Amino acid sequence: MLTSLNNRKSIRKYQKKEVDNQLLTQLLDTAFRASTTGNMQLYSVVVTKDEKKKAQLAPLHFNQPTYVNAPVSLTFCADYNRFNKWCESREAEPGYDNFLSFLNAAIDTMLVAQTFCVAAESKGLGICYLGTALYNAKAIAQILALPKFVVPITTITVGYPDENPAQTDRLPADALIHFETYKDYTNADIDRIYAHKESLAENKKFIAENNKKTLAQVFTDIRYKKADNEAFSKALLDFIKEQGFLK
């Protein structure tokens, strides 16, 4: 298991081979054993295979090739709708129209999503996370007919790999682990932690292509800009409110 996890990589090119629904159901059923807040299982998963539905959703995922070419995508949703209805049908008043409840459901959702990914990879499938589900949550919800108290959290593309890419870099473990209390970073720590990432040829290429001085500027000025972050944040918060989680 550790070897498999250490060697994993995101897959963005897939064979033109269908992923059987029985296998998907088996993998999802396994994923549903993941830890969950109060054993409430505050999530649902929408499976998309239909080409017309994929064509509707693709622009909301910025037409990324990994989405367009994947044989199947899974949208993992934070879901209090089902639990609320159970409570109401059993003479119990749900009190989950608040931000804490949304976070609990979002955490449950990501635990299930990651467990699914590990299970899928163990069966020879490749996966890729798409953060765009949060960027365009409202529009995705409309296409998938998500009711109140259901919010898309992440979309994962799934298929049999048609590539064997190199692993992407990761920061050293000692940069991320804090024993007992958080140890803040000095400038020297930052230089050491990011030295390898900044030395990679592909990252130097990103800097040159984008006419920037540093790799950090590629992130702040090109990939994840402040204006975009603020616009997507507002849209997401407005939608979470529409869905009943914020008053």
What is the 3-class SS of the chain, one letter each residue? CHHHHHCCCCCCCECCCCCCHHHHHHHHHHHCCCCCHHHCCCEEEEEECCHHHHHHHHHHHCCCHHHHCCCEEEEEEEECHHHHHHHHHCCCCCCCCCHHHHHHHHHHHHHHHHHHHHHHHHCCCEEEEECHHHHCHHHHHHHCCCCCCEEEEEEEEEECECCCCCCCCCCCHHHCCCCCCCCCCCHHHHHHHHHHHHHCHHHHHHHHHCCCCCHHHHHHHHHCCHHHHHHHHHHHHHHHHHCCCCC
Where does 2-165+225-242 sit in CATH, by number?
Answer: 3.40.109.10
Amino acid residing at 27: L
- The pLDDT assigned to 5 comes to 87
Question: Domain ranges in the chain?
Answer: 2-165+225-242, 173-223
- The pLDDT assigned to 112 comes to 98
- The pLDDT assigned to 66 comes to 94
- The pLDDT assigned to 57 comes to 98
- The pLDDT assigned to 1 comes to 83
The model's pTM: 0.95
Query: Exposed, middle or buried by CB within 10 Å (0-12, 13-18, 19+), for 239?
Result: buried
Please tell me the distance from the alpha carbon of residue 114 to that of residue 16, in angstroms, as a whole number.
24
- Token pair 């970073």 in the structure block, residue: 185
pLDDT along the chain (247 residues), means of 10: 88 95 98 97 98 97 96 98 97 97 98 98 96 96 98 98 93 96 97 96 95 96 95 96 93
- The pLDDT assigned to 246 comes to 87
